[in-house]
Amino acid sequence: MFERNLLLVISGPSGAGKGTICKALVDKHPESMQCSLSATSREVRPGEIPDKTYYYIGKEKFLSKIEKDQFLEYAEVYGNYYGTLKDEVQRLFSLKADVILEIEMQGALQIREKSKEAILIFIMPPSFKELRARLLRRKRDCEEDIQNRLDKVASELKYIKDYDYIVVNDKLEDAVSKIESIIVAEKCRMDEKTLDIETFIKDI
Ligand code: ADP
Ligand code: 5GP
């Protein structure tokens, strides 16, 4: 009666563990949590699965969707476009789930402007040394790409002040549990729109 579904935005430096945390959350709560699948103009990387990792729609189609106002937010990152489709988020909310957007900071700020109720969580690695080690261990990006991602970290950290919560991803289980606690607290937050007193009073 008093529950509301949440829009959670998860950002942080590349390699901090955003994808790992989001997967762990959805695996633990398959009924109540869903990750929004983004659209991108970039190419499929080895190991990625179309319509599972991203909707790979190419630049022309991406630009046409911008024109048609079909994105909740979008941004250009490392020369490619990435965006959250309005349709996708509506579909996930219709499943009565909390919806997670794993997106970078420019997109997160667009969400903040559109929805005061969105919850912005910044994932921090325990140290810069560990961040580099994780990017190397992931064995996904070439040396040049890893360096580009590390070079961006200082400028990305300037956005921290715009977020509601910071979660340090040292031990994965602890980071997941902190986000679960944030969700519980946010669902208990006083919110007049969802406070269904009328229905409660009818039964008195
Ligand atoms: P992001 O999505 O933020 O770019 P990933 O989720 O891909 O980061 O994680 C980067 C690498 O770090 C992966 O190899 C992942 O297995 C590893 N990783 C994630 N969280 C932890 C953690 N808490 N401790 C150690 N390694 C981690
Ligand atoms: P990658 O190419 O490594 O998968 O993603 C590059 C960056 O794009 C990551 O920082 C990721 O969080 C971000 N990203 C992925 N999807 C979206 C999206 O829908 N919107 C925005 N703004 N960023 C996204």
The domain locations on the chain are 7-36+97-202
Q: Which residues pair with residue 85 across a beta bridge?
A: 71
> Hey, which of 9, 77, 84, 86 would you mutate to test ligand 2's pocket, going by the most ligand atoms within 8 Å of its Cβ?
77
> Hey, which of 14, 20, 136 would you mutate to test ligand 1's pocket, going by the most ligand atoms within 8 Å of its Cβ?
20
Task: Please report the pLDDT score of residue 191 as a whole number.
Answer: 75
Task: Please report the pLDDT score of residue 204 as a whole number.
Answer: 83
Q: Tens digit of pLDDT per residue, the chain (204 long)?
A: 567 899 999 999 999 999 999 999 999 999 999 999 999 999 999 899 999 999 999 999 999 999 999 999 999 997 999 999 999 999 999 999 999 999 999 999 999 999 989 999 999 999 999 999 999 999 988 999 999 999 999 999 999 999 999 999 999 999 999 999 999 999 998 776 667 777 778 878
Task: Please report the pLDDT score of residue 190 as a whole number.
Answer: 79
Quick one: which atom of ligand 2 is closest to the CA of 36?
19
Quick one: which atom of ligand 2 is closest to the CA of 53?
4
Output the residue whose Cα is nearest ligand 1's atom 18.
17
Task: Please report the pLDDT score of residue 192 as a whole number.
Answer: 65
Q: Which residues pair with residue 73 across a beta bridge?
A: 84
Q: Which residues pair with residue 117 across a beta bridge?
A: none
Task: Please report the pLDDT score of residue 27 as a whole number.
Answer: 98
Residue 32 to residue 76: CA distance in whole angstroms = 30
CATH architecture of 7-36+97-202: 3-Layer(aba) Sandwich (3.40)
Task: Please report the pLDDT score of residue 203 as a whole number.
Answer: 79
Cβ of 134 below 6 Å from ligand 1: yes
Task: Please report the pLDDT score of residue 154 as a whole number.
Answer: 96
Supply the pTM of this predicted model. Answer: 0.94
Check the CA dihedral 172-32-9-72 and report its sign: positive
Task: Please report the pLDDT score of residue 1 as a whole number.
Answer: 57
Cβ of 26 below 6 Å from ligand 2: no
DSSP classification of residue 41: S
Cβ of 110 below 6 Å from ligand 2: no
Amino acid at 138: R
